[in-house]
Amino acid sequence: MICIPGLGGKKPFSILMTDTIPDLGFNEACQCFPRWRYLQETDASQTSAELLNINEETEGNRIDNISDTALRTFREHYSDDSITKDAIFDYVYGILHARRYREEFANDLSKMLPRIPYAPDFHAFAEAGALLASLHLNYETCEQYPLQLVFSHPGEPQPQHYRLSQKAMRYGNKDTKETLIINEHIRLAGIPEEAHRYVVNGRTPLEWFIDRYKITQDKESGIVNDPNGWFADPCDLVTAIERIVYVSVESTRIIEGLPAEVVDP
């Protein structure tokens, strides 16, 4: 599903795709537009788990949220019968990432649902949208950006040196943001400037990562939230960061490579 901010959001417009059910606060009280919806016969005896269990047996009840009318309209406008419903979904994701579109319709995006224009080059935006969707859905398994690991002691770092400490991760220089200090033992250098140009819900993915991956304790219950327990191997923390940087850099490259024209003359 494509998730956009709710109406009246205070942050600049942003968009993100997910293949899992999101929290209602995801992307600033987001509104979600699924690729499909499902109809399923229900009765009072079914549990919530049964109601949410969508599998191959319910595939016949899947309804396409891109209508036949929309498909026909796109094909007629572009005189292109090769356009598919999946391509339209990718096109929407591409268009809503375009900086020219966000700048030109900034006022409208803050108070109403986005309107999708017919860009001169449909396939350029559809292809870019498909690439962005793949990046954003597979950020946990994508390629890693080659950052330089700097160890503050002689020899090679051991697994315990990768563990987060009570002090949150931070940039070595808040202006350049080229180096990320993990803890007193290791830091990651070589973060490219492009990684800081891709923003989702008011922050870059790396800034969201820094904010969420830190040790915290609830004042009332005393429960400790320790992200170190999320990794089977402490070294996987660096792997996760390198993937986040890769997604950010590639997203910036794709977005900045989109055609300048977003509305048919």
pLDDT tens digits along 90-100: 999 999 999 99
pLDDT averaged over the chain?
A: 90
Q: Is the pLDDT of residue 56 over 60?
A: no
* Predicted local confidence at residue 207, as pLDDT: 96
pLDDT at 45: 58
From the list 194, 209, 193, 15, the residue with the least C-alpha distance to 99 is 15
Residue type, 19: D
Residues 150-204 pLDDT 10s: 999 999 999 999 999 999 999 999 999 999 999 999 999 999 999 999 999 889 9
Instruction: Report d(CA 132, CA 251) in Å as an integer.
Output: 6
Classified as helix, coil or strand, 217 is strand
Spatial distance between the Cα atoms of 173 and 77, rounded to a whole number of angstroms: 50
Q: How far is CA 100 from the centre of its chain?
A: 20
Task: Count H helices and E strands in the chain, helices first.
Answer: 8, 11
Specify the pLDDT at position 194. 97
Give the rounded percent of residues in the chain with a pLDDT score beyond 70. 91
Euclidean distance between the first and final Cα of the chain, in Å? 30
Residue 58 has a pLDDT of 52
pLDDT tens profile 212-240:
999 999 999 999 999 999 999 999 999 99
Per-residue pLDDT at 59 exceeds 60: no
The angle subtended at Cα 5 by Cα 104 and Cα 208, nearest 5°, is: 105
State yes or no: pLDDT of 46 exceeds 90. no
**Mean pLDDT of the region 48-63:** 62
pLDDT of residue 61: 83
Token pair 């968009």 in the structure block, residue: 15
pLDDT higher than 70, residue 43: no
In degrees and rounded to multiples of 5, residue 27 shows phi and psi of: 55, 50
- The conformation of residue 156, written as its DSSP 8-state character, comes to P
pLDDT tens digit string along 105-142? 988 888 888 999 999 999 999 999 999 999 999 999 99
Radius of gyration of the chain (CA): 22
Q: In the chain, where are the structural domains located?
A: 2-38+64-137, 148-254
Q: Compute the half-sphere exposure of residue 52: CA atoms within 13 Å on the CB side of its CA.
A: 5
How far apart, in whole angstroms, are the C-alpha atoms of residue 195 and residue 199?
9
The reported pLDDT for the residue numbered 101 is: 94
Give the separation between CA 115 and CA 128, rounded to whole angstroms.
19
Distance CA 130, CA 223 (A): 41
Q: Which of 33-42, 173-182, 247-256 has the lowest mean pLDDT?
A: 33-42
d(CA 21, CA 19): 7
- How is residue 196 annotated by DSSP? G
State the average pLDDT over residues 256-260: 95
Burial of 234 (0-12, 13-18, 19+ CB in 10 A): middle
